[in-house]
Amino acid sequence: MDNQKILILDFGGQYNQLIARRVRECNVYCEVKPHDMSLEEIKAFDPIGIIFTGGPNSVYAESSPHPAKGIYELGVPILGICYGCQLLSHELGGLVTAAQDDSAREYGKTSTWFDTSCTLFRDLPQESITWMSHGDYMAKVPQGFRLVAHSKACPTVGICDEKRRFYGVQFHPEVNHTQYGSQMLRNFLYNICHARGDWTMADYKRRAIESIRSKVGGGKVLLALSGGVDSSVAAALLAEAVGSQLTCVFVDHGLMRKDEGDEVEQAFSRWDINFVRCSEEQRFLKALAGVTEPEQKRKIIGEEFIRVFEQEGKKIGSVDYLVQGTIYPDVIESGKGEAAVIKSHHNVGGLPDFVDFKEIIEPLRMLFKDEVRQLGRELGLPEYLVMRQPFPGPGLGIRIIGEITKEKLDMLRDADFIFRQEIARAGLEPMLSQYFAALTNMRSVGVMGDGRSYDYAIALRAVETSDFMTADWARIPYEVLDRISVRIVNEVRGVNRVLYDVTSKPPATIEFE
């Protein structure tokens, strides 16, 4: 890849992937890497700029994470955010201490004043709102740095050494609560790092097709097609790259939404591709029998997927490559190296150790969801496919808490169908990024007719998000929730209670497991 690149070194902050999204929105390519990336690896990455992320540690603590020695001598611009700002100060001769009193600690929306002669704040108002989240304080800034932002409580909110192109801010410019955060990041990228803005989906499409053709040659390709956005875009990309060498295998694992298997088959029957549908409900239910732990569910589903694809590959004969619609959030959340595993995605951390293919191709692996949608448009996919509701590969298997059975799946399918139907009738679909029903393992007493019931509770989940790395719970009108609840309790046998999840991400994930 010959795009200009920004390196984001991860020190464990909760908004780290959001930084990457904001950089990419500015048409500049970036990757998030572990903080302990070696100096040689950093040089090989050849970044035009480096961003140190936030993190939960104190820079003066003995166990706190630090970047490779020599990073400050590379001549590459650096932007430190929150912990990253304190790291710059601490390592270059300043003094960072715990805040001496509560007034020096800042959390949430904060009025902040800027020195707009600093390149980072060029063409911004001299006062605006930023999002703070720090309990440590820069008591002394390093030699060569000057103070360029302050708040009522903290005189050292922003620092810079324009000669070495080092900048630090105690707040988080990547979050929407910081009013001019995107402009600050753009100033860093274009006015300090001198980015060209060469990251576009049209260019990515061209390069990806060239790369796939070069790799595959005359080989046969098998694509794991779920009918979701990611695998659909991957299918369109591979179809354009290798045409008839591609076979799309749709594994109907019995964990799909109501009527979804038939809908997927109908949608892809219009395409000029080899389409194979494998009905494997019994196989997956047998493998999942008695399993309640979510990570184990994901790994079992991942392994069974691969075995079905291997089986189908042998029928086709001499299939060299398996293609998956893995995207960047899947990779990030599955963890790598010392990074925390949030959950193993069945197509990343859930893969078995042995895979009987020459190679796995993941052409969307470095793209965020909104980039995948834009690539789909570049490939000419219809809007209903590009904007389809996200649906996880493990399907309803991770929307049933506890053991998975055919009875529970049918119960959840009916409840989820009612939820989606009423959302559509209320005209709320365009405002919701993702919404679904989940079956809890909680049973409680209820009154059905004149009798006592002891049945399950359905949990409804709906979120609004721009990047799926963070999300806010959706404020669905009470009257709509009321209709949904009444219908589910009356129409779905085995359910006597409906709950609505009002937790954002973080701390929750979007899916239940």
421/417 Cα distance (integer angstroms): 6
Question: Within 10 A of 452 (CB to CB), how many other CB atoms are there?
Answer: 10
Whether the CB-CB separation of 412 and 437 falls below 8 Å is answered with yes
Residue 269, helix vs strand vs coil: coil
Catalytic annotation present for 90:
no
Strand 5-10 versus strand 49-52 pairing type: parallel
Catalytic annotation present for 338:
no
Which one of the listed residues 172, 253, 345, 346 is annotated catalytic?
A: 172
151/171 Cα distance (integer angstroms): 11
What residue ranges in 220-358 does DSSP mark as E strands? 220-224, 246-252, 274-279, 319-323
Residue 327, helix vs strand vs coil: coil
50/9 Cα distance (integer angstroms): 7
491/26 Cα distance (integer angstroms): 48
Residue 167, helix vs strand vs coil: strand
The one-letter amino acid code at 375 reads L
Q: Between vectors from CA 405 to CA 500 and to CA 226, what angle results, nearest 5°?
A: 75
214/208 Cα distance (integer angstroms): 10
Burial class of 473 by CB neighbour count within 10 A (0 to 12, 13 to 18, 19+): middle
Q: From the CA atom positions of the chain, what is the Rg in Å?
A: 25
As beta bridge partners, residue 167 has: 79, 160
Residue 183, helix vs strand vs coil: helix
The one-letter amino acid code at 502 reads V
What size, in residues, is the chain? 513
Whether the CB-CB separation of 435 and 389 falls below 8 Å is answered with yes
Catalytic annotation present for 172:
yes
116/119 Cα distance (integer angstroms): 7
Which one of the listed residues 30, 35, 154, 174 is annotated catalytic?
A: 174
Which one of the listed residues 26, 30, 82, 193 is annotated catalytic?
A: 82
Strand 136-140 versus strand 95-98 pairing type: antiparallel
Catalytic annotation, residues: 82, 172, 174
